[in-house]
Amino acid sequence: MATAPASPTAPARVKKPRLRAEERQQQILHGAIRYFSEMGFAGQTRELSRRLGITQPLLYRYFKSKKELIDKVYLHVFMGRWQPQWLVALRDQAVPLDERLVSFYKDYARATYQPEWIRIYMFAGLESSDLNRRYLQLIKKELLIPICHELRIHCGVENDKLPVSEQEIEFYWTLHDGLFYTAIRETIYNLPMAISFDEKVRMAVANFLAGAKVTYPKLVAAPANAAKAAKAAKTSKAAAAKKRAAAA
């Protein structure tokens, strides 16, 4: 009697190596960045867990809440890419201001104008998240105000005693916003430029500084002129009142 062939043995199940706590946390964080850049912050942690191949309770072992996870995404995507040495280079007056600005925006674009960064930034704004406000406060403090002082020097109107005005800051936003919109065109609208980003930066900086030579001295002088006008009006009013009193 023939012996029945032995049934094939099922292949042994290979266990995935367990990640160390730090590795697992980074896996979740980077997965969350990809997920939120695709779905926005309305995306559910249940779906994120499924995509990562882990359970939702495991995710919450490393991040106690969705808010905590989003905060970590903010720190990594926004704060983690800001380089303090940028400000040092921007203040180096041994280098012409146009070269400093061009160099800065080339580096800044490489660090931030990436698809995940742009998409998360846009989603945060649409969902009324405070992430954008926190980042814009950083930009104002660490970039706009210091650069406005450099612009004053460049335009020959430096005044250390006069605080940088909101008008000056808004003037500088025209350069920063314009270059940011270039990244939006490419990343959100899928409309690549016909020229390189570096060339676009050189053009934008040259155009901005040419206009600043005309406009910026007026912006710096505006608060002082307003104060003089207010003082003159007050003096005139007092003189008129005194004249009326003398005539009575």
Cα(32)–Cα(246) distance, integer angstroms: 78
**pLDDT at residue 234, as a whole number:** 60
Give the SS3 label for residue 157: coil
**pLDDT at residue 160, as a whole number:** 81
Q: Give the domain CATH number at 62.
A: 1.10.10.60
* Radius of gyration, alpha carbons of the chain: 29
Residue 205 and residue 105 in contact, taking contact as beta carbons nearer than 8 Å: yes
Tell me: do 210 and 170 sit in the same domain: yes
Residue 29 structural domain: 21-77
Give the SS3 label for residue 164: coil
Predicted TM-score (pTM) of the model is 0.79
Ranges of residues in the chain with a pLDDT under 70 are 1-17, 128, 224-241, 245-246, 248
Tokens 């001295």 appear where?
217
Tell me: do 174 and 87 sit in the same domain: yes
Tell me: do 42 and 159 sit in the same domain: no
**pLDDT at residue 158, as a whole number:** 86
Structure tokens at 142: 């660490």
Tell me: do 86 and 204 sit in the same domain: yes
Cα(226)–Cα(246) distance, integer angstroms: 30
φ and ψ of 65, to 5 deg:
-150, 165
Number of residues in the chain: 248
Q: How many domains does the chain have?
A: 2
Exposed / middle / buried, residue 148 (Cβ in 10 Å: 0-12, 13-18, 19+): buried
**pLDDT at residue 120, as a whole number:** 92
